[in-house]
């Protein structure tokens, strides 16, 4: 059977599929809306996520929920928008995030501008002994590093950038040994580090 276009059903479907495929490719984004990194308090970047839309609590939620097992989640998660992130996570996967303590970093919590956090003391790192001596703004130095690739990200395709960025991040992480050496004594004893970090930084 042929329709008015003179094509068989199979040919018509193939044509429609081809056309919608072209449209999809056209809409495929060429550039990122920025990178989102996860780091420990010693500025080691554990992973990154390339955002295709503006940043929202969906970004950290998706990464933690889809890439980690529940038992590998951090006990303390510090984020400049931790209160919104906690609400977002608890509405969707309360059991998965049950053991995670969401805290706002000191800098953003004590901000006195219009964006000041009024979400209450439970997000204040000052009330938690375990994070008292922790640098809660460690990730900012990672951001300063990532900003350097802004131009490169704009001029390379998204696919190429996804290959370049992990290499840059790995290079930076392995170069951290020299940066951290004088601070090792105050950063914490190496035998208390996670084995993977110890292997990465000390090669044993």
Q: Pick the closer one to Zn ion by CB: 45 or 83.
A: 83
Q: Pick the closer one to Zn ion by CB: 31 or 84.
A: 84
Kindly identify the residues of this chain, within the stretch 126-165, that bind Zn ion according to CB under 5 A. none
For the bound state, the minimum distance from the C-beta of residue 194 to Zn ion, rounded and expressed in Å, comes to 8
Q: Is 119 in the site for Zn ion (CB under 5 A)?
A: yes
Q: Are 81 and 111 in contact (CB under 8 A)?
A: no
Q: Pick the closer one to Zn ion by CB: 31 or 117.
A: 117
* CA–CA dist 101, 124 (Å, integer): 11
If we measure between CA atoms, which residue out of 70, 48, 69, 68 comes closest to residue 59?
48
For the bound state, the minimum distance from the C-beta of residue 53 to Zn ion, rounded and expressed in Å, comes to 22
Q: Pick the closer one to Zn ion by CB: 63 or 197.
A: 197
Q: Are 72 and 95 in contact (CB under 8 A)?
A: no
Q: Which of residues 7, 12, 31, 40 is near Zn ion by CB under 5 A? A: 40
* CA–CA dist 186, 171 (Å, integer): 24
Q: Are 150 and 130 in contact (CB under 8 A)?
A: no
Q: Which of residues 83, 100, 131, 169 is near Zn ion by CB under 5 A? A: 83
Residues 152-181 as b or e (16 or more Cβ within 10 Å = b) = ebeebeeeebeeebeebbeebbeebeeeee
3-state SS, residue 13: helix
Q: Is 42 in the site for Zn ion (CB under 5 A)?
A: yes
**CA 202, 75, 62: angle at the middle one, nearest 5?**
95
Q: Is 68 in the site for Zn ion (CB under 5 A)?
A: no
Stretch that binds Zn ion, among 21-29, 42-50, 94-102, 130-138 (CB under 5 A): 42-50
Stretch that binds Zn ion, among 19-27, 110-118, 129-137, 151-159 (CB under 5 A): 110-118
Q: Pick the closer one to Zn ion by CB: 36 or 109.
A: 109
Q: Pick the closer one to Zn ion by CB: 42 or 161.
A: 42
**Which spans of this chain sit near Zn ion (rule: CB under 5 A)?**
40, 42, 83, 117, 119
């Amino acid at each position: 059977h042929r329709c008015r276009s003179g094509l068989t059903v199979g040919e018509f479907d193939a044509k429609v599929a081809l056309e919608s495929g072209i449209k999809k490719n056209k809409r495929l984004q060429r550039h990122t809306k920025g990178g989102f990194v996860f780091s420990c308090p010693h500025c080691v970047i554990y992973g990154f996520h390339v955002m295709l839309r503006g940043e929202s609590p969906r970004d950290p939620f998706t990464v933690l929920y889809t890439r980690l097992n529940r038992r590998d989640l951090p006990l303390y998660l510090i984020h400049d928008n931790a209160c919104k992130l906690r609400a977002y996570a608890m509405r969707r996967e309360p059991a998965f995030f049950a053991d995670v303590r969401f805290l706002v970093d000191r800098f953003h919590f004590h901000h006195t501008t219009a964006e000041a956090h009024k979400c209450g003391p439970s997000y204040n790192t000052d009330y938690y002994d375990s994070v008292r001596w922790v640098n809660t703004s460690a990730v900012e130095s990672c951001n300063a590093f990532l900003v350097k690739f802004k131009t490169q990200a704009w001029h390379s395709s998204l696919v190429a950038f996804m290959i370049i960025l992990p290499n840059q991040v790995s290079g930076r992480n392995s170069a951290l040994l020299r940066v951290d050496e004088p601070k090792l004594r105050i950063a914490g004893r190496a035998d208390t580090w996670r084995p993977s970090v110890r292997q990465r930084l000390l090669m044993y």
